[in-house]
Amino acid sequence: MVAGTPSAIDVVIEEDSSKRRQILDGARKVFMDLGFDGASMNEIARSAGVSKGTLYVYFADKNRLFEAIVEDEALAQGKVVFNFDSSRDPETTLREFGQAYMESLCRPGGGSWIRTVMAIAERMPEVGRRYYANVLEKTINRLADYLRAHVRPGDLAIDDCQLAASQFQQMCQAALFLPFVLQAAPAPSAERIAEVVDSATRMFLAAYRAK
């Protein structure tokens, strides 16, 4: 085999990965458009551009497919970069995090996906738990670690950094997330997000900045 030329196994793996991605992309669109109950394997196969037989080669049923999309979404969200360098000052870090977090949360299509996960969580609680643990809780934990790094030198006075991190997330969502996810309002503009995050940052530091 010529050096640098992919082997037959590599080609098969790449094709398999590409086909799986094709199925996941098609299924995500169907779930977002029709919801979990409205989606069928026939509709997913059509959307993905594969035969129903091919679909079942990769996923045994609709539940397994939906779980795979949740995992895929968690990986994608995990790639969103938040700068929690402990050497950065809290005010700048909180503002930048809040802006990036809300833009990610309220991205196009994001509301449909969150609504779908919330709708199925009661019936498939493990899916909801995994989504929370792998997407939301990880971000809270990272922010809490950053806050602890600024409690030690006395920049912040916080007894429960885990709670404080959750509080800041919720303050950033105020007047933005629920109207968006319930389709009462379109996705907020970057300018509107900045206004809300600025207010949240000032309120947070007023409560927790060391006196």
Burial 21-31 (b: 16+ CB within 10 A, else e): ebbbebbbbbb
According to DSSP, residue 160 is labeled -
- Structure confidence at residue 14 (pLDDT): 53
Q: How confident is the model at residue 13 (pLDDT cuts 50, 70, 90)?
A: very low
Indicate the pLDDT class of residue 10, thresholds 50, 70 and 90: very low
| pLDDT category of residue 9 using cuts at 50, 70 and 90 | very low
Q: Could you report the per-residue pLDDT of 109-145, keeping only the tens digit for each? A: 777 778 888 888 888 888 888 888 888 898 999 999 9
Start-to-end C-alpha separation, the chain: 69
Alpha helices (runs of H) in the chain, residue ranges in sequence order? 8-38, 41-48, 52-58, 62-78, 90-105, 110-121, 125-131, 138-151, 161-173, 177-181, 190-208
User: Which three-class secondary structure state does DSSP give residue 209?
Assistant: strand
